[in-house]
Structure 1
Amino acid sequence: MAWISLGVLVLHVGLSWLSIVKLEMGLVGAAISLDFSWWLMVICQLIYVFTCCKDSWTGFSWLAFTDLIGFIGLSLASAVMLCLEYWCYMVLILLAGLLKNPEIQVDAASICMSVEGWLFMIPLGFIAASSVRVSNELGAGRPKAAKFSVAVMVSMSLIIESTFVILILTTRKVFPALFTNNKLVMAEASDLAVLLSLSIILCSVQPVLSGVAIGAGWQSKVAYVNIATYYLVGLPLGVLLGFKLPFGLQGIWSGVILGIALQTIVLVIMTLRTDWEKEAILAKLRVSSWGISTDKLSNGCS
């Protein structure tokens, strides 16, 4: 999967240069190259699954529709849970456009969001790893292994992201120059470096715990947590600090960070209070209801 992504990325760089720079197609060229690359990645992954994953892919079957309602429920809950998180940052950009000097505010916020988006790719990988690992260990009846994997992945993500935070704080006056030569935008982005660092630290733990929630089947619960922490606390407080009080973009982002912090605290409490033995039993029951041998699953996860 990683090699497929790398190959498509290399091709995407060439296509982007050709369409944007050489053919001078601008944003239209960027959109075309991006669409082509995403479709190519999906097609290559499908070919890989159909040809190389003999143990997990045995062809199309009507069994795919077994307990479909349950899978749809989990999928919708996962979508709502993740969308509520991502949309919060999009709302932050929209609110920045309503401040004084909106071009400077939006540019500075976009720079910080870009940096965070790059660094978020690391916790994003841990989301996939934690959800798969936790679900596999619970399904195989190994609750202690599931609990231990959570601690390992949270620690790894926190250590890696903390290293980047140190780099950002050290170069806070310099890194905005990678995106712009506008002195006002650079100064505003530099002022946001501390908030950016706090956001990165929180997002090194929160996504991993979200992956744990997906693996344990807590999507619906976390969706409600996201509504409460982001949209009932974080964003309203950000609006208050940014528009009613003289804190501007820093105030808006401070509110969002508070929402992320509250969500992270709730997820940590949920994880610490989890009865992993009970979760393993529930996972075994679900696996058994799908007609899969837990011994076979355990061997497959070894």
Structure 2
Amino acid sequence: MASSSNLDIPGKKTPGADFGTSLVASFKSSSPLAKELLARDLAELEEYEESDDDAYADTRRRRSRGRASVVSDGSDHGDEHPGPTLYRRPSGIAFGTIRPALGPGGPVEGPILTKAERNQSRDAERSLLRDNHILPPKHHREAQKPPSLLSALYARIFSTKVPRRDSDAESPPQLVVSALETDPLLGGGARVEEEEHLDEQWEAAVAAGVIRTTWQREAKTIAIYSRSLIVTFLLQYSLSMASIFAVARLGTLELGSVTLASMTANITFYAPIQGLATSLDTLCAQAYGSGNKHLVGLYLQRMVYFLWLLIIPISLVWLNAERILSSMIPADSAVLAASYLRIILLGTPGYAAFEAGKRFVQAQGLFSATTYVLLVAAPTNMALNYLFVWKLGFGFQGAPMAVAITQTMLPCLLFLYVWKVDGSQAWGGFNKAALRNWFPMVRLALPGCIMVVAEWFAFEILTLACGRIGVTTLAAQSILVTVTSTTFQIPFPLSVAGSTRVANLIGARLVDAAKTSAKVTVVFGVIVGLFNLTLVASLRYKIPLLFTHDDKVIELVATTLPVCAIMQLFDGMAAVSHGLLRGLGRQEFGGIANLVCYYLIALPISFGLGFGLNWGLEGLWLGVTFGLLIVSLVEYWFIWQSDWDQIVKEADDRNTSA
């Protein structure tokens, strides 16, 4: 994984090992900055150990014992020949209060598989070998009558078996037939023998190019990947949506102001924090994967300190937000938005710690940790909003109070999970080294920060433009942003799932299977887009009633929602195209395409239609809709023209050098 010999897990690599790096290897980062920082930190800890510093020596001993246990357990993630791993849970990262057009870029290094996950990988590979008629079926059937028309139709639609081709007669013979599958009376030794030969079977099948997949299998896999992610994303988004619902009934001015405040918080705090924290996706995963688990805790501390330091200049901006915003929007809206920002400032340290903490647990493969935290925090946040805004009569100020308390609660809940459930093995204690070596971490973090901020800023510009039109338009904009951001929580998790699956198959050198998976993901994206389109269009007069009873706002939202409904189709298509580019390792093109289409096409069209032709809010959203159409078409064209065999070769080179 790392160039330094100190980072290599001992073990002899078997001749066929290169074929076995499908999932984990496809996500390994070859970032020289990450390697440099990891090696530098290890070297410093070595020096402290030699100087008999008790704290560092004790940490070093714990690391050594951890590495020894990993290597000695061949069934876990440190065995000398990990074998093929066609299993990975997509990252459960949620992006907070507003939709990013493209998530943090780069194929980040994923966590090493746990024993349970490795067993799932084995099951997936074994199932693929059966579907390709390389292994015998799991259940041998006695000779029976031909299937009925209904059962044959059912098998045709839902069976994951790859249809036999004429050329299959010339396929390589089965290398190993598991005794366990042919004779259920044999003991456990047969399973051991089967596991020993599964790698060899898989590698030989991949090398011979006989592994294919079906749309049924890919649809099932992507659906399983997506379902938990959708729940996680919706839960995290509900934290900000609850504030909008809570203050919406207070009045049109309050409704517009809370959205303006949220957007300002996004562009000045949430987006930079989330973007900077993406560097831990690489650093923590590399440290954990190399066996130096205590460094995961070190990088967590370093990032938290860095993010807390950034809160100081951010707080100066927020404390003076009224004067800044009043120069761009009506004074009444600026006053309320500034008061919102001043109150949620109290919750920013907790939010920053939680963003770093998410990467800490995800680097260890604990993706469900944040979901459990949100299952507690999201309902609590809704209850607090109701209590403060309506029950206790705090009014508009009650919403940011609920947000600040919830954000402070998030890292506390995550800490309890790590302490009482799982994840503490990567915590080496508080370390003075966290106050040094920040520069490589910052250099690694800046690209992710710039990517997220640049895309979120486009939506901030639209909101500020609506504020200049009037209070009613700003209130309508807040409803439209909330609706489209909520519907986006379905196609974006789907794109994460598709990205993961395509990257898996690319890493396994299964080009045809990767293309099949990509096509299935595109179809899913269109289906989700059409579903959202139908939902938004059919409820265009019902949706605004959830937020307000102001007739002018309701009419303006209902008039603009058909445009937003059409946007849903292109939004789903664009989300999937972004995900496929990430899976192929071509996210740089996606970033450029997004920036060009948003800033050189979408926003100029929006302003031209909205202000030049006086189309108002409809014109502003038409520009965004056209921009999404263009970016999706450009990206699909790029994906179609890409040399997938070359992409596989590049992935191999990247994994070999990692």
Report the TM-score range of the alignment, normalised by the length of the smaller protein. 0.7 to 0.9
- The answer as to whether partners of 1:84 and 1:223 remain within 8 angstroms in 2 is no
- Structure 1 residues 69, 9: closer, same or farther in 2, change over 3 A? same
Per-residue deviation, 1:282: 0.9
Matched, 1:34 2:406: yes
- The answer as to whether partners of 1:127 and 1:208 remain within 8 angstroms in 2 is yes
- Structure 1 residues 40, 162: closer, same or farther in 2, change over 3 A? farther
Output the amino acid matched with 1:131. S
- The answer as to whether partners of 1:77 and 1:219 remain within 8 angstroms in 2 is no
Partner residue in 2 for 1:65? none
Q: Helix, strand or coil for the counterpart of 1:172?
A: coil
Instruction: Tell me how far apart the structure 1 counterparts of residues 465 and 459 of structure 2 sit (CA, whole Å).
Output: 10
Output the amino acid matched with 1:202. F
* Alignment size in residue pairs: 276
Instruction: Tell me how far apart the structure 2 counterparts of residues 46 and 143 of structure 1 sit (CA, whole Å).
Output: 39
Matched, 1:140 2:511: no
Partner residue in 2 for 1:5? 374
RMSD (CA atoms): 3.0
- Structure 1 residues 270, 34: closer, same or farther in 2, change over 3 A? farther
Per-residue deviation, 1:227: 2.0
Instruction: Tell me how far apart the structure 2 counterparts of residues 3 and 181 of structure 1 sit (CA, whole Å).
Output: 36
1:63-212 alignment runs, 5 A limit? 76-99=446-469, 102-212=470-580
Deviations 1:2-60 (Å, cap 9, x if unpaired)? 44433432343344444545554613312213313543565477677737xx9xx8999
- Structure 1 residues 161, 222: closer, same or farther in 2, change over 3 A? closer
- The answer as to whether partners of 1:144 and 1:276 remain within 8 angstroms in 2 is no
Instruction: Tell me how far apart the structure 2 counterparts of residues 174 and 270 of structure 1 sit (CA, whole Å).
Output: 39
Partner residue in 1 for 2:345? none
Deviations 1:174-217 (Å, cap 9, x if unpaired)? 22111110000000000001111122111111112112222222
When structure 1 is superposed on structure 2, of 142-151 and 249-258 the one drifting more is 142-151
Q: Identify the structure with the greater helix proportion.
A: 1
Q: Helix, strand or coil for the counterpart of 2:423?
A: helix
Q: What TM-score does the superposition give when structure 1 sets the normalisation length?
A: 0.80
Output the amino acid matched with 1:211. G
Output the amino acid matched with 1:95. A
Instruction: Tell me how far apart the structure 2 counterparts of residues 230 and 246 of structure 1 sit (CA, whole Å).
Output: 21
Per-residue deviation, 1:247: 1.0
Per-residue deviation, 1:85: 3.1
Matched, 1:241 2:614: no
Larger Rg, first or second structure (1 or 2): 2
Deviations 1:114-161 (Å, cap 9, x if unpaired)? 111111111121232123222222222222222222222222232133
Partner residue in 2 for 1:253? 621
Instruction: Tell me how far apart the structure 2 counterparts of residues 111 and 210 of structure 1 sit (CA, whole Å).
Output: 26
Output the amino acid matched with 1:27. A
Match of 1:50 among 412, 423, 442: 423
Instruction: Tell me how far apart the structure 1 counterparts of residues 412 and 571 of structure 2 sit (CA, whole Å).
Output: 30
| Aligned residues with identical type, % of pairs | 25
- The answer as to whether partners of 1:176 and 1:186 remain within 8 angstroms in 2 is yes
- The answer as to whether partners of 2:381 and 2:403 remain within 8 angstroms in 1 is no
Q: Helix, strand or coil for the counterpart of 1:192?
A: helix
Output the amino acid matched with 1:199. M
Partner residue in 1 for 2:169? none
Instruction: Tell me how far apart the structure 1 counterparts of residues 606 and 497 of structure 2 sit (CA, whole Å).
Output: 32
Instruction: Tell me how far apart the structure 2 counterparts of residues 72 and 143 of structure 1 sit (CA, whole Å).
Output: 34
- The answer as to whether partners of 1:78 and 1:214 remain within 8 angstroms in 2 is no
Match of 1:217 among 570, 585, 589: 585
- The answer as to whether partners of 1:134 and 1:216 remain within 8 angstroms in 2 is yes
Q: Helix, strand or coil for the counterpart of 2:549?
A: coil
